[in-house]
Homo-oligomer: A and B are copies of this chain.
Amino acid sequence: MSERLVVIGGDAAGMSAASQARRLKAPGELEIVAFERGSFTSFSACGIPYWVGGEVSERAELIARTPEEHRARGIDLRTRTEVLEIDPARRRVRSRDLASGAEDWTAYDKLVIATGARPLRPPLPGIDAPGVHGVQTLGDGQALLDRLAATEGRRAVVIGAGYIGVEMAEALLRRGYEVTVVNRGEQPMSTLDPDMGRLVHDAMSGMGITMVNDAEVTKILTGADGAVRAVATQDAEYPADVVVLGLGVRPETELARAAGLPLGEHGGLLTDLSMRVRGPVADGAIWAGGDCVEVLDLISGQQRHIALGTHANKHGQVIGSNVGDGYATFPGVVGTAVSKVCDLEIARTGLREKDARAVGLRYETVTIESTSRAGYYPGAAPMTVKMLAERRTGRLLGTQIVGREGAAKRVDVAAVALTARMTVEQMTALDLGYAPPFSPVWDPVLVAARKAVAAVRRTGG
């Protein structure tokens, strides 16, 4: 007797889950129906800044698998079809075909919720004016590119200085715009400690980007044509021919909330280690993954919401294995993220100082300067590494890196060390790859670990 798997959301988590389940179960054993509100599936939202910036020339390059490809693999994919309601008691979902308006109930034996996240869009005056753009979907990216092509203006304001904000600042700079980044925080990249964020600030200023910190946007000013002409803060006005919103995202969990499924303090769905939604309402038949769930931070022990394609893919893989009667778990995250602005590389993993304080951890911090290659080797680029280690135990708590080429991916060493709960003393003995074109004889991460050992010893507990 065939079961039916229903998937809500046709992007990374949902379609990874569907594809993995399909690999494990033949169509005769498991029918798979996937609903996607938009027209695209399995696209790289993380790639949109590079499409806008021109490094990626075609939208199609950002699409890992088209609806047709999914269908050819035996997934009944229904695009332009929005799920309006989940009825866990009767194990069914209500959907609407956006073209015809027709509504339908579809029963499920197993359900995957992969509804993603929605960008924050504060209710500012003028926020809906032409020329104000989000960059969440391929449609958003296309609309922004159309706007850039259509306007003669050359001034862009990016609101927000997180990953999307700084990546869009680069993209607009590449398009020849004068770019201003308006940011509520003390420094850009609030996922870093402020001292490391300051390095990002200085580097972006050095690229000719106007960086405005501690600024609250109060309204979007429009011109006679109704389109954006400036962004106003409490202090000043910044002329803008185009405005890009990079204010972060929230889990898209309205359907789940309405169905009575459990949400965490960040608004994301709460799952167990197999990515199955917790609690009696879900009744063991509902899984969730991607940007709509909260994940366990393995270092702080707290739930977090992290919208990142790499997690979404892992979640989908885990869900697909489990709904396909295999076995896999997602143990949690350590909070690794990398980004770049032109040639500036930014990376972080683990806890910031304020995260550590918030969960009652005492720590030492050290910051060191090193280079990506042996100092004498051409192209050796500077980087700054900050490391947090727990007092007394010396356990690694977090690492932040700001530098140039070769800086960002070094954070992976710290990410693995965090996962393995290594101390900074243990890290000093790590056998990392060394040759002059690739590293100084002490890798920058090891230099930081050595200094952290000394700091932990000095305070002695």
Q: Which residues of A contact B (CB under 8 A)?
A: 12, 44, 46-47, 50, 55-56, 61-62, 163, 308-311, 313-314, 317, 329-331, 333-340, 347, 349, 374-378, 406, 408-413, 415-417, 419-420, 422, 426, 428-439, 441-443, 450
Contact = CB atoms under 8 A, between A and B. Distances in A.
Q: Which of A62, A339, A437 gathers most chain B CB within 10 Å?
A: A437
B50 A437 contact: yes
A376 B374 CA distance: 31
A340 B412 contact: no
B338 A433 contact: yes
Contacts of A55: 377-378
A432 B415 contact: yes
14 contacts: A55-B378, A56-B376, A61-B375, A313-B442, A335-B431, A336-B434, A338-B433, A338-B439, A406-B409, A408-B438, A415-B430, A416-B417, A416-B420, A416-B432
B415 A431 contact: yes
Across the A-B interface, the 6 shortest Cβ-Cβ residue pairs: A420-B420, A338-B433, A310-B434, A61-B376, A416-B416, A336-B431
Given A416-B416, A441-B313, A347 B433 contact: yes
A23 B238 CA distance: 54
Nearest to A414: B416
A329 B317 CA distance: 41
B415 A438 contact: no
A142 to B, nearest CB: 16
A329 B426 CA distance: 10
Contact of A349 (B416, B431, B437): B431
A415 B314 CA distance: 22
Given A50-B436, A340-B438, A416-B420, 14 more contacts: A44-B374, A47-B377, A50-B376, A50-B437, A61-B375, A329-B429, A337-B434, A349-B433, A408-B438, A409-B410, A409-B439, A412-B443, A419-B420, A419-B429
Given A61-B376, A429-B314, A441-B309, A46 B338 contact: no
Contacts of A415: 430-433
Contacts of A46: 374, 434-436, 441
Contacts of A406: 409
A441 B50 contact: no
Contacts of A430: 412, 415-416, 419
A41 to B, nearest CB: 15
Contacts of A335: 431
A50 to B, nearest CB: 6
A432 B348 CA distance: 10
A377 B44 CA distance: 11
Contact of A413 (B309, B329, B416, B439): B416
Nearest to A418: B431
B376 A310 contact: no
A412 B436 contact: no
Nearest to A416: B416
A433 B337 contact: yes
Nearest to A406: B409
A409 B437 contact: no
A408 B433 CA distance: 8
Contacts of A330: 429
Nearest to A417: B416
